[in-house]
C-alpha cells in the first residue's frame, strides 16, 4: 500500500493541527499559572503590609507572640490552597495533552490496522501464515498499548487522590497546632 499525495498532506495537516492545539493548551496552562502567581503575590504583599502594621501597633510581647501565632493556620491554609490550585492547573493541562495523544494513538492504530487488512487482501497465495502472524502482532501491540493507557490513568487517579489526602491532612495538622498554641 502506498500513500498518495493527498493522504500525506492530510496526515501532515492533522499533525500540525494537533501541534498547534497542544501549543495553545500549553500557553493556556502557563497563563493560568501566571495568573495564580500574580494573585498570590498580590495577596502576600497586602497581607504583609497589614501584618506589619499590626506588629508595629503591638503593645507588649504577649500581644506580639499572639499575633505571630495567629498567622500559622491561615498561612498553612493558603499554602495548601496554592498547592491545590497549582496541581489542578498541571493536572488539567496534562489531561488535555493526554487526550490529544490518545486521539493520535487511536488514529495510528486505525491506520496500522487498515494497512494490515489491505496487505492481507493483497497478499500472494500461500502467505496466510505470515499474514496471521502480522495480524496477531498488531493485535498484541494494540492490547499492550491499551493496558499501558489504563495503567497510566489509574496511576494519575491515585496520585490525585494522594495529593488531596495529603492536603487535607496538612490542613488538619495545622489547625491542631494553631489550636494548641492558642490554648497554651
* Residue 113 predicted with pLDDT over 60: yes
The listed range with the strongest mean pLDDT (29-43, 57-71, 169-183) is: 29-43
Grade residue 181 by pLDDT with cuts at 50, 70 and 90.
Answer: low
Total Cβ atoms within 10 A of residue 178: 19
114-136 pLDDT per residue, tens = 777 877 777 787 777 877 887 78
Q: 55-73: b or e for each residue (b if 16 or more CB lie within 10 Å)?
A: eeeeeeeeeeeeeeeeeeb
d(CA 4, CA 32): 42
Q: How far is CA 91 from CA 24, 126, 156, 171, in A?
A: 16, 52, 9, 21
pLDDT computed for residue 157 by the predictor: 75
Name the residue with higher pLDDT: 176 or 26.
26
Whether residue 95 contacts residue 26, with contact meaning beta carbons closer than 8 Å, is answered with no
Buried b (16+ CB within 10 A) or exposed e, 89-113: beeebeebeeebeeeeeeeeeeeee
Domain ranges of the chain: 7-183
Residue 153 phi/psi, 5-degree rounding, is -65, -45
Amino acid at each position: 500500500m502506498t500513500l498518495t499525495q493527498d493522504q500525506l498532506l492530510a496526515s501532515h495537516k492533522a499533525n500540525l493541527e494537533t501541534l498547534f492545539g497542544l501549543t495553545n493548551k500549553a500557553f493556556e496552562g502557563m497563563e493560568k499559572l501566571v495568573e495564580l502567581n500574580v494573585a498570590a503575590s498580590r495577596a502576600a504583599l497586602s497581607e504583609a503590609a497589614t501584618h506589619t502594621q499590626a506588629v508595629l501597633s503591638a503593645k507588649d510581647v504577649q500581644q506580639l507572640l499572639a499575633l505571630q501565632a495567629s498567622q500559622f493556620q491561615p498561612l498553612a491554609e493558603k499554602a495548601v490552597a496554592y498547592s491545590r490550585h497549582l496541581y489542578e492547573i498541571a493536572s488539567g493541562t496534562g489531561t488535555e495533552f493526554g487526550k490529544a495523544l490518545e486521539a493520535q494513538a487511536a488514529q495510528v492504530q486505525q491506520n496500522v490496522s487498515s494497512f494490515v487488512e489491505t496487505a492481507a487482501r493483497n497478499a500472494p497465495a500461500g502467505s496466510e501464515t505470515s499474514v496471521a502472524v502480522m495480524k496477531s502482532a498488531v493485535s498484541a501491540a494494540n492490547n499492550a498499548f491499551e493496558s499501558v493507557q489504563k495503567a497510566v490513568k489509574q496511576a494519575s487517579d491515585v496520585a490525585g487522590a494522594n495529593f488531596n489526602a495529603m492536603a487535607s491532612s496538612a490542613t488538619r495538622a495545622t489547625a491542631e497546632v494553631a489550636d494548641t498554641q492558642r490554648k497554651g
